[in-house]
Structure 1
């Protein structure tokens, strides 16, 4: 019973914190504790404690007049959302050309924790059914996932390498072997996955960079292993790299 009450209290605190953040607008850029407690019908002490917590997390900041405004953390979050929207918008023409030229479904994906999330997809007549837009696949056994992961910080790579799971028959589950594999991907500039997520499914992915030079996404093709193996891998990689550079340029990268 006590655990349930504690859970309800925590949930209410989260809801009230969200309600506080939603009060801020262009018309109301700064608010005081008394004002917020009145607008939301909260006890003044409760409002103060929630705003102190939000300030400590960078979601609010205190002005010299002891009023509150949205914190700089939102700039970082808005940058993430803007980049994702740009990737989704700018990648479509490149994916269409890839699908037409290579004859396989083409994707653009981003890293989300231990998964790759697909923002955009262009199918061919024989579509790849396993990765609809919005779907997530393990980053460790997909061409797009490894093309992103290979360029991340060492602590991110190590965190994923220590939690590898077997999916397809060729999944790499040894941490040291996986790290060496990512090093090779970083050197060659592309990732080829044969039967790593499912038997009979393969993919090729290359990195996409933003204006800072950071790898923020990957463009890839995926399809039945038989077709991927029989295609001209070198030509597919070259075509994918051209698309990756093209999308990167649209995101402001000119390296």
Structure 2
């Protein structure tokens, strides 16, 4: 791999996830690079408009160009287009917010969402991330990874709340349960007051490529409502899977399987 490219992407990712501008020294320390190296990378990225420098000289930030690129990708993502009608129906049937997620290593990325009309609802944003083992959509996808991958993950889980499932044996039992029942439940594992339920979406080869789920205040996800919600998300996942057919979403499936391959190495 091209080391300069890798370092440049590292700078972009660091700035994209930072809530404030970062100085050259901070970037160098965070990435473990020499200041002179970071300075050259920042110059190139600024010229290409991926990075901007704060007017007061306080540091560097990711530019809106990243948003433009991300929006361009999302607008052409077949998965999102095919899922939207079923997500909308799921939101109206349940009254809760609906999320469409894909797996990126140990995190989920929210590629689409439809907010609940309820004034009190779960907050997420498109492009946002969460620990996969702590949210329903993430657990719905993780459960279908190879057993060896799950074994390695189980040894390095970190909690987000006291309810997060991080004990290896318990996590592996949870994955087995999800595979058997076909859906996953989050009981305050990412945010203590938020619960969720989700089901996996598969491609024409049966590979899990995404998940669709509901989330909302924990008090609205009482035990008596979980089975009806589970039926709803499983039906939506089945409809999205059927609507995908065998088209360009295969590229996403390939990318997802490639990530799993990397984790197995």
Q: CA deviation at 1:13?
A: 9.1
Q: Decide whether aligned partners of structure 1 residues 231 and 102 sit closer, same or farther in structure 2, where only a CA change above 3 A counts.
A: farther
Partner SS for 2:99: strand
| 1:17-32 mapped onto 2 (5 Å cutoff) | none
2:97 and 2:122 in contact (8 A); partners too: no
Checking the alignment, whether the CA contact within 8 Å between 2:96 and 2:215 is kept in structure 1 is: yes
- Counterpart of 1:105 (choices 73, 90, 97) is 97
State the alpha-carbon separation in 2 of the partners of residues 124 and 147 from structure 1: 21
How far does residue 231 in structure 1 lie from its aligned partner after superposition?
5.8
Structure-2 residue corresponding to 1:200: 193
Q: How much is the aligned-residue C-alpha RMSD, in angstroms?
A: 2.3
**Corresponding residue number in structure 2 for 1:149:** 142
Query: 2:81 aligned to 89, 93, 113, which one?
Result: 89
TM-score (norm 2): 0.63
1:232 to 225, 229, 233: 225
Alignment deviations for residues 214-248 of structure 1 (CA, whole Å, 9 cap, x no partner): 01111100000001116622111111111000000
The structure with the largest alpha-carbon Rg is 1
TM-score when normalising by structure 1: 0.65
Match of 1:232, SS? helix
Where does 1:125-144 land on structure 2 (aligned, <5 Å)? 125-126=117-118, 128-144=121-137
State the SS of the aligned residue for 2:100: strand
**Equivalent position of 2:184 in the other structure:** 191
The gaps in structure 1 that reach 5 residues or longer are: 1-8, 16-80
Say how many residue pairs are matched: 179
4+ runs of 1 displaced by more than 6 Å? 12-15
